[in-house]
Structure 1
Amino acid sequence: MASKDEIRASHRARRAALTRAGLESAGAGIALHGLAWASDLTKGAPGTFAAYLGVGSEPPTLPLLAALHGAGHRILLPVCEPALALSWVYWTPASEFVRSRYAPIQEPVGERHDTIVMKHAAGIFLPATAVDFSGNRVGQGGGYYDKFLAALTDVIPAGTQESDGGSLPSLPTAAVVYDAEVLPSGSIPAESFDRKVAAALTPGGLLRLQP
């Protein structure tokens, strides 16, 4: 079994070869299927979703953010804080972005909220470089989301479910990856601090995983 670092490096190299047209096509598919997932979770009503802004060759999420906003949903984007903590800012198309002090990402400007704001959320779109059908995820390697997902169970404990190799987060989660980055079950090593994800959102559709 390849290590998380090996999987991450391999997929990043593949992403670096993507063309502008490929990125635009991927962004359109992610927006289409991500909006459908959100609408399913809220039964068509407006809701609140945590998401993130994909940069560089990451799966483009700006079209998804715009689609969610256009459908009346509220969107929370992360801000990296010291000690691998995340805070959250409500985003609109008028929001400004600045370079993060702690990670290679763009962050929204605005009032910051801690994890307690997730009590109002219907679901979470997570960054990833790979997922497998066991629900295991390879993130960006920073550790921010591992800590956030662990803290989430203190805020919303009632929804936590135990699976056959790790606990599911308290809210529905979808990791955003390219189609080829959804791997067979057991491809990704799981560690004690990992939290599994319930779905993979790809340009080709939403895939339900089996954690």
Structure 2
Amino acid sequence: MDALDAAAAGITRHGLEWASDLTGGRRGTFAAYLGVGAEPPTLPLLSALVDAGHRVLLPVCEPELELSWVYWTPESGFVRSRFAPIQEPVGERHSTAVTLDATAIFLPATAVDFSGNRIGQGGGYYDKFLATLAALSSASGSSAAGRASDAVPLPTVAVVYDTEVLPAGSIPAESFDRKVDAALTPGGIIRLR
């Protein structure tokens, strides 16, 4: 097994365990993404989530740094995004509001630190999505009790390689940044903050 296959296997095993812990073994809905290029591979995790009975939402990049969401299955097709260097699912698009009913969010990142700060690809799509989700949650009164004010209203896990989890305070946070709860690596789930 090569390093990429081993990483995919670890991410799938630990990501599926995290999902099961959150749902108590019941079915849930997870907003996720398709890892491409040098990103940690997530396709096996996406398939495993669906095989376990969960629903999976994948993003589509829209104008003005907006994300829409498509319910994905292993039979879904992908097309090259018009706005970002990613593959996007083909299907009916839903607004960010659809993610309010999700169980949790698997986020892309190039690194996270133990303070819960994350670095993305720099495009700004996820920063805007997380801010919009927090605002929608506040407006609907559905914010989870006990969550920090800079947190997203749903549990979040950034998918990174083991070496991309950095000491607390390593990543500077901007006012628009939202902290993540955990890192999902090939080696396991790492609780942050």
TM-score, normalising length from structure 2? 0.95
* Local SS of the residue matching 2:174: coil
RMSD of aligned Cα (Å): 1.1
The equivalent of 2:176 in structure 1 is: 193
Per the alignment, residue 144 of structure 2 pairs with 159
Which SS does the other structure have where 2:88 is aligned? strand
What is the aligned counterpart of 1:178 among 153, 161, 164?
A: 161
Aligned residue number for residue 90 of structure 2: 109
Q: 1:56-71 maps to which residues of 2 (within 5 A)?
A: 56-71=37-52
Structure 2 residue identity aligned to 1:207: I
Alignment partner of 1:206 is 2:189: yes
**Structure 1: stretches of 5+ with no match in the other structure:** 1-19
Distance (Å, rounded) in 2 between the aligned partners of 1:54 and 1:144: 15
Gaps spanning 5+ residues in structure 2: where? none
Q: What's the offset of the Cα at 1:99?
A: 0.2
Distance in 2 of aligned mates of 1:67 and 1:55: 18
The question of 1:45 aligning with 2:40 is answered no
* Shift in Å, 1:119: 2.2
Q: What's the TM-score, normalizing by structure 1?
A: 0.87
Describe how 1:27-42 pairs up with structure 2 within 5 A. 27-42=8-23
1:73-97 deviation digits (Å, cap 9, x = unpaired):
0000000000000000000000000
1:189-211 CA-partner distances (Å, limit 9, x unpaired): 1111110000000000000001x
The superposition leaves residues 88-127 of structure 1 with CA deviations (integer Å, 9 ceiling, x where unpaired) of 0000000000000000000000000001101220000000
Identity, in percent, stands at 72
Establish whether residue 76 from structure 1 lines up as the match of residue 62 from structure 2.
no
State the distance in 2 between where 1:119 and 1:138 align.
Answer: 23
Note the C-alpha offset of 1:154: 2.2
Task: Spell out structure 1 runs of 4+ moving beyond 4 A.
Answer: none
In the comparison of the two structures, how many residue pairs are matched? 188
Q: Find the counterpart in structure 2 of residue 89 from structure 1.
A: 70
